[in-house]
């Protein structure tokens, strides 16, 4: 009998430059959530997401993410979630967006998800430096 939760942390540090006000396949992360054994159906609760950004344009205050189970972005697991980014203490162009999720989801047959990014200002860009997803089972 299982009592309590097991927490998992998944990190992707692949930089994604040029994030704009529209989703694009070139500006997404591919993340294996770490089911065991690898590549099996993921069933878990996404607890929190932290996205670190740099080179953020002057009028970019919000970051929107969407998580899908397909590379084309059509099978949505977690719908658009927008959060105001916090400004770094040492640099006004370094920002972070944090999401307290609590989403229970299952990805049939795989443990891979795709995280898409966009922001609100068509005239500005931002770079995604990393994403941390914490999930429990």
Q: What is the mean pLDDT of the chain?
A: 91
The CA distance from 105 to 116, in Å, is: 17
Q: What is the pTM of this model?
A: 0.91
pLDDT tens per residue, range 13-63: 999 999 999 999 999 999 998 877 766 778 889 999 999 999 999 889 999
Instruction: List pLDDT tens digits, range 69-111.
Output: 999 999 999 999 999 999 989 998 999 999 998 888 877 777 8
| Cβ-defined contacts of 82-85 (< 8 Å, 24+) | 85/53, 85/56, 85/60, 85/61
Domains of the chain by start residue, with CATH: 7-136 (2.60.120.260)
Q: What 3-state DSSP class applies to 96? A: strand
Lowest mean pLDDT among 1-5, 8-12, 103-107, 115-119: 1-5
């Amino acid at each position: 009998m299982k009592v309590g939760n097991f927490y998992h942390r998944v990190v992707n540090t692949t930089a994604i430059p040029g994030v704009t006000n529209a989703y694009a396949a070139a500006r997404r992360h591919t993340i294996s959530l770490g089911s065991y054994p690898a590549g099996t159906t993921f069933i878990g609760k996404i607890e929190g997401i932290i996205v670190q950004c740099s080179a953020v344009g002057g009028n970019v205050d919000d970051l929107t993410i969407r998580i899908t189970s397909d590379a084309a972005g059509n099978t949505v697991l977690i719908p658009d979630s927008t959060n105001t980014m916090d400004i770094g203490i040492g640099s006004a162009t370094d920002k972070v967006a944090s999401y307290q999720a609590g989403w229970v989801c299952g990805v049939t047959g795989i443990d891979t998800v795709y995280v898409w990014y966009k922001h609100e200002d068509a005239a500005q860009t931002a770079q995604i430096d990393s994403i941390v997803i914490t999930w429990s089972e």
